[in-house]
Amino acid sequence: MAISWDIWLFFAFLAVAAIAFLAEGVIRLRTTHGATWKAVGFCTLAMAFCLFGTLAMYFVYSSSGSMLESLKKPLEPSHLRPDWGADMSKEDRTKYSQMLARISFENWHITVNYFDETGTLRPYQPTDADRATFHLRRQAVAHYEKKTNLLKSVTLGWLLVPWLGLLAAFVPWSVRVLGALTGRSKADALKAGSALLS
């Protein structure tokens, strides 16, 4: 499951918004600027963003992990017994046993037997396309391993977003920026910054 850039940007925007709302709420609570319900509202909205972001990212991580597991654990190689497909026609027996042998090679890079047109078990001869499919599959496993590890880190990173919001609430420049964005006067913002530092 590929993740497009707009999804990454959405999660980044969500994280920045959560940090800003939480910082604004904490600043308002500490400086008693404005109504208390507004401060609590900012904090609640921030935590809702954090919860949504964490759950959504965990869903993406789980989907990638499931895909990785399916790639790492393909169908077992087919080791056919002499009586396999005895009730099939010769054509079907050859067709399906050859298909199983090809899949075994593409998944495990081993050569197994299939039934030829005469009903004799013989080793499957892989084609260049079979070899290419095997290598593409290995590349896909490596890609999903990297992607799943990245998504795991990002999912865990979402647990840090509330702490970043709290940290931002005690940084003077963020107090001034958030004050300007939320309509507080410059004097109020500087007063809030001074209160936080005292």
pLDDT band at 195 (very low <50, low <70, confident <90, very high): very low
Torsions phi, psi for 86 (to 5 deg): -65, -25
Q: Average the pLDDT over each of 105-109, 159-163, 177-181 and give the range with the smallest value.
A: 177-181
Q: What angle do CA 143, 75, 109 make, to 5 degrees?
A: 65
Residues 162-175: pLDDT tens digits?
998 888 887 776 66
The type of residue at 41 is G
Q: Is the pLDDT of residue 131 over 50?
A: yes
* pLDDT of res. 24: 85
> Percentage of the chain with pLDDT > 70?
84
* pLDDT of res. 38: 86
42 is in which domain, residue-wise?
Answer: 5-197
Q: CB-based contacts of 195: which residues, under 8 Å, 6+ apart? A: 30, 31
Specify whether the CB–CB gap between 132 and 141 falls below 8 A. no
Distance CA 49, CA 11 (A): 10
pTM: 0.70
Task: Indicate the number of domains in the chain.
Answer: 1
Burial of 27 (0-12, 13-18, 19+ CB in 10 A): buried
Residues 19-48: pLDDT tens digits?
989 988 888 887 776 778 888 999 999 999
CA dihedral (32, 34, 36, 40) positive or negative = negative
The two structure tokens encoding residue 117: 């047109």
* Chain centre to alpha carbon of residue 183: 37
> Percentage of the chain with pLDDT > 90?
60
Question: Buried b vs exposed e over 110-138: b needs ≥16 C-beta within 10 Å?
Answer: eebbbbeeeeeeeebebeeebeebbeebe
* pLDDT of res. 166: 86
